[in-house]
Amino acid sequence: MNFAKERDRAFIKAVVDDDWSGVLEYAKKYGVPVPKDEKVMKAGIYKAVQECTKIPDDVKGTAMRKCLELGFTPFIKPVEVDE
């Protein structure tokens, strides 16, 4: 399985089923640091889901709602580059 498919599968399972085991396994496998604060970790995943092109809109909607319920904005702010 490739990197993006594996990520999307873990993200979908976390959003839909509240099963974070796939996300934690994925992070360990690829050396991705995980915030110690569970609320911050979840919000980060919910935000990341919005940027994944292969994740269905209904899952994105659920992630958006859950992110808002945690008190976070559901989108990642674009980076502004000073020239």
Q: Supply the pLDDT for residue 70.
A: 97
Q: Check pLDDT > 90 for residue 48.
A: yes
Asked if residue 76 lies in contact with residue 43, where contact means CB atoms within 8 angstroms, the answer is: no
Q: How far is CA 22 from the centre of its chain?
A: 11
Task: Grade residue 80 by pLDDT with cuts at 50, 70 and 90.
Answer: confident
Q: Which long-range contacts (CB under 8 A, 24 or more apart) does 34-41 make?
A: 39/70
Asked if residue 10 lies in contact with residue 22, where contact means CB atoms within 8 angstroms, the answer is: yes
Task: Grade residue 4 by pLDDT with cuts at 50, 70 and 90.
Answer: very high
Domain ranges of the chain: 3-69
Residue 23's SS3 state is helix
pLDDT digits (tens, 9 = 90+) for 52-65: 999 999 999 999 99
What is the C-alpha to C-alpha distance for residues 53 and 81, in angstroms, rounded to an integer? 24
Q: Check pLDDT > 80 for residue 83.
A: no
The DSSP symbol for 34 reads -
Task: Grade residue 74 by pLDDT with cuts at 50, 70 and 90.
Answer: very high
